[in-house]
Structure 1
Amino acid sequence: MTPDVDPGRAARAEVDRHRALAARAQAVLDRVRALEDAVTGTVTQDREARVRAELACVEVGALAGTTDRPLRLGALVEAGYRTAADLVGVDATALAQVPGVGPGTARAVTAAVLQLADAVRAATPVRLRLDADDRPDTEASTRVVTALHALLRWWPQVDPHRDRLAVYVRAATAHARTAAPATSRVRYALSLPRTRDRARRAVGALAAWTTSGETAALASLLDDLAGVHDEAGFDAAWSDVERRPATYTTALHRLVPGALDLAVERGLLAGELADQVVAHPLDTRLMRSTLRGYQEFGARFLLCQGRAVLGDEMGLGKTVQAVAAMAHLAAGGERHLLVVCPASVLVSWAREVTTHSTLTVHRVHGDAAADAAARWVVDGGVAVTTFGSMHHLPDPQVLPRPGLAMLVVDEAHLVRNPRARRSRAVAGWARATPRVALLTGTPLQRHVDDFVALVELVAPDLVPGLPRHLGLAGADAFRRAVAPVYLRRNQRDVLLELPALEVVDEWEELTASGARAYADAVAEGQLVRMRRATTVVDGRPSSGKVGRLLEIVDDARENGRRVVVLSYFRGVLDVVAPVLRAHGVAHVGGPLTGDVPPGERQDMVDRLAAADPHDGAVLVAQVEAGGVGLNLQCASVAVLCEPQLSPAVEAQAFARLHRMGQLRAVRAHRLLAEGTVDERLHAALAERAREVDAYVRDSVLAQSSVRAVDVTDAALAREVVAWEQARLGRGPVWDELAPPG
């Protein structure tokens, strides 16, 4: 029953109560809507700006080809209309006023520009890059970042109650308006009977909310929302972006569903197939990491298609996509998963699986390979082995039922020769499982024969149907033709979701001779020798680092990217440079050391920029010489041969590539030797990296001098040496403790 409230003071109090409450609720809704509009409006403006930039490349004379009738375009050019962009928004009436331009030409040109703009707009994905440089420095990017940061505070609080608040605001506002005559006895008495009746019912409806407790509940909710503080400022907002970029990407997708071009995020898959992939379930309960949108799509693709080639460009995270697919299968009860990779990435693969998921890893390699394989058979998990160690694996039929759930082959182009021993070994396991994921960063449209060989492994029935001269139609046409088994995205396709700088740890093993030399250096307590011995000893490679370096350079060459190789030690560079030349890299510049005069240093950089990256273009440099005073943005891949004693040194070196003018996300590889001083330094300096990064970024002095922010001291060096001596039982103290004889 609706409460009966007397006109006058009581009714006025009820109406005022709900007007105030509705105003508070409306303020919350308005704030959230304003933030959402700030994002969508900025993204739309960005898209229109890029459409206009495309039109600026179309000369007015080219509009003649849009119609069969003759157009007097020369007069428009003389009047200052040089490109199609100049004609956007200019109507036919204004154009007809130009001397020499008649009404017919004016109407035809206006129509042509509108059609052209619509076509360009349809082909231009809505894409706003949030991390164009070290961090956004444009007004648009700043506006988007700060608005998204605020929304991520508001949404969790408002979303569960948004409809309720909106309904209340509309109803309370309407009731308050209708109840207005009842707020004054005089006005109420002078109103028509029908008006008085409506006013009393409206006041009663408001009072019903109050007596039901709904008003108090809304007031309490709005009190809680009053505690949401969204004026954090850009620095805090950007720090949050760096901590959880995938969350911000998802938020942007919510507001602007076309914020990424889905055609390229999905690898140009046909609509029906892409929809099937999107609809395929992906269980991430066993994942520790959050996938980016395109990575989630890649994992679903591998699961949906069952047997496929994932050919994303280097730096897009093929490994984590494969791990996500395996984790999904494990969450569903599958027990045996197998990764086959080159020896140079074995350690990194094992670490990546445990970093990104809770899956158990068995390294089937080295002296303990047979034991590891036996444990894998019994315990299940992920067996990680090399092409050369596959003979340690049991026969596929030995695995408990249901058998092998998935085979992942990294650097799969290495098994393109079906007659090679490793190719036959991989093919045997591929026949024993319903799911095969071949990973390769090599752009296979440039090596069609190699691609066909890989298709034979995963989908032999598809090969006869592949068109002849497949590689001549262009990359997009190639990808569409082979879409059922091949997914490849380039960095430019998913640029919004990529960090502008991604640092990847590449863990390698010492060789037998390298391990002996390293142990001797530890015994002598020589930190310099210890660090150098993880890469080279006596002019020869002492670990898998150099081999991995060659693979990274090959990958960069295939993808048209230039490389800078950095080391603190001149001796390391003296080994690396000739190895690269012997490997067939067309341009190997340097070594760029502190002894090289400034003018010659810039010449080295200019020659690197002029070199064809598809033939191989590398500059080798000492880390401090290459990290100070040079702009290396012509390169987008960096390889650091050993961890540095200060995170500032590393950060400044990477910043030479990752700065204004860099059009590609920079991928930096740290080469690290497992079970050495590299591991200790890596752990010790990780804690300091964030502080140093902020200082380097914000301080002009720090940008000019590494030593301005060098947080390393002699104590760290002593600590690292002592730790390694204790671990290996070598050095003066340990010699004294050793038994006589």
Structure 2
Amino acid sequence: MITQALRLVGRSIHRPSIACSSCLADTIVTSPFFATTTHTVSSNSSSTLWRKITPVFDGENKQVRIHFYEQLLETKCLKKLVNIFRKYDNLKLSYHSHPKQWAIDTRNLKYFDTQKFREELSENNFELGRLPGFEEGSSPAVTTAERIAFGMEDENTVAIIQYQKAFLIVCSAYETKISDIITNKLTGVTDKASENQFDGLQFTSCNTTYVTYDIWLIAEFTDMLKDRQLDISWTLCDDTKESLNSRFDDRRIRQKPIKAVTAIINDGCNLYPHQNEGVRFLQDNDGRGLISFGVGLGKTATTLAYIASEGKRAVVVCPKNVRSVWVGEALQLFPKYFSEYTMNLGSNWNSTDEKTERELSQARLVCINYEALNKFLPFIQKAGCECLVLDESHLLKNPKAERTKTIIELKDYFQHRILLSGTPIKNLVSDLATQLEIVGIDGYGELDYKTPGVVWNWLHEQKVYIKKTMEGEFSHHKFGEPQLIDVEVDQDSIEDLDTWYEVDILIQFTQKILEAAQIKVPETCKFVMDTISNSPDSKAIIFTERRKIAEDIHASLQKEDPSIAALHHGGFSSKDRIQTLNQFEKDDSLRILVSTRQSLAAGVNLQYANIVIFNDMPWSPADIIQSAGRVRRLNQKKSVSEYWMKSNTNFDGRLLSILEKKLKLIKEYAEGINLQPDTVRWMNKRVGAYEIAGIARPLPKKKKK
């Protein structure tokens, strides 16, 4: 899947006003892309200039008009020229122009004998300028795009040209192979866009034009076009070729190992190429930026490599269950730098103030969870660490939340600020506002939240954002899309869940959430047992939102086999939870882990499992991505399968339908798709008891004066 989005601009090609330098050579007045529809002659023109015949593209009337200078009207040569014109059936007087001019309808260009026409004019001392759709004086890509626009090419033809910072993909409006690639294999195609998105861009009925600002998307698209079975003819303009070559060369350089990192990393350990690129990104930006590597792509290792290689001291603020992950990975990868200089701070820290202050002043890595931050805030402000790392930074999207206020108060004590999140946007682009404020970016508030394409382009220009996806970096990994597993429940259960009374909706809702999860437990247990029995080398994780449901699932599985499942939730101590996860990894007979989602929400690597089952669903699509990401890791050796259990009730039907739609839209929004205003408004709406019940939400009560 591609991280950035193609957007359907329209069924068109008409002259963009600016183009790449290679496309402009000798075409500025004749190409349908770059031609102007008027032409003036300066007073100091040469005496032979009036003999030049200039084809001019008239997009409004879909004609190529044969323009000649007014001086010709006053000479005896006019009759000779008209006699030549009359020999060609497709060349006729245009009644759309004033004064009337000879013109060819664009649909007839393919039948026009341009070579004979040019030779005959030349024999009579006339000079014909470049005729659109023919290669004289133009790049092959522009010519091909013109021919597609005029219906002169076969359907299996595509041209890619560069226009300012955009790349235009031009193909026939009737082409199915190319459109199938774009709509099915490249994410984020929409069928509506502004006609005025590009200066001068208009519409013809013979072609479809897609646009992207992402050179890597063009690279992947061209790789797909190389498939011989598709039998697609394609061409690139010179500037696009140069962009591809320079970007690939630049990327190869940026992904090479970094001497300062290899000098201190533990023997047998190495960074992946995309992690080297991430370290260089931080080096180039003085340790400030948002690293949005997909879940499982190694944001922790990338950040630790930057801290250690640059000799920095860092405070890492993260979820509670991730503190030990940071410390463990630091000691595993860079023991020479971090050994004896790490601190794992939590609410249970009981040292004296003097000892805490002394140890903080020496520590090179301080890991603290968000909930405990206020307790240690005065000490951290005095510690003199240069680098602030905010793991799972999407947790800071609400500027009114206490944790966000604390971080904003703290940020100015640090020169370097690194934010990490595989899902920086949970619902809207506005989720980024606080995160970018912490990084120290000005001007974000001026951006239109309804045009995410503008936002991402701006972030890339500011060089404060780097995004990588598992699919983009490791396409060989097989991570399937979620599959719905239907659960048939009895009629009484359906009536209980789908019958609502218009009073005490919230009380009913609390009860029904538990019931909706409970009725699926038997089928979830049966499904997981069948699944692992058919895949002897697999291990499965069952997620649920509630501790009681986790306990019920675990108890039911133990009746089948007392040693097959382990239980994991927040009610156990941190030590017991770590022990359970270690046992699940090393004990081959332990095939199933039953866990509450929140206790495994982030920072836990479970790549030794490859089956994820949601008995009941979280309310946020980003939580689904984070949970499934526990097994979608870099060192995952197996195909990953994800299943959602869905009962035949309206309760489950409405909830899962909303989640599926939001998951799709959030992915598109995060990749730069410009969603329609109605869709944005729908995403902004709260989803809760009334929406699941199918009952209109009551209007808020007016406050008394």
Q: TM-score, normalised by structure 1?
A: 0.38
Name the structure where strand makes up a greater proportion of residues.
2
TM-score, normalised with respect to structure 2? 0.40
More helix by share: 1
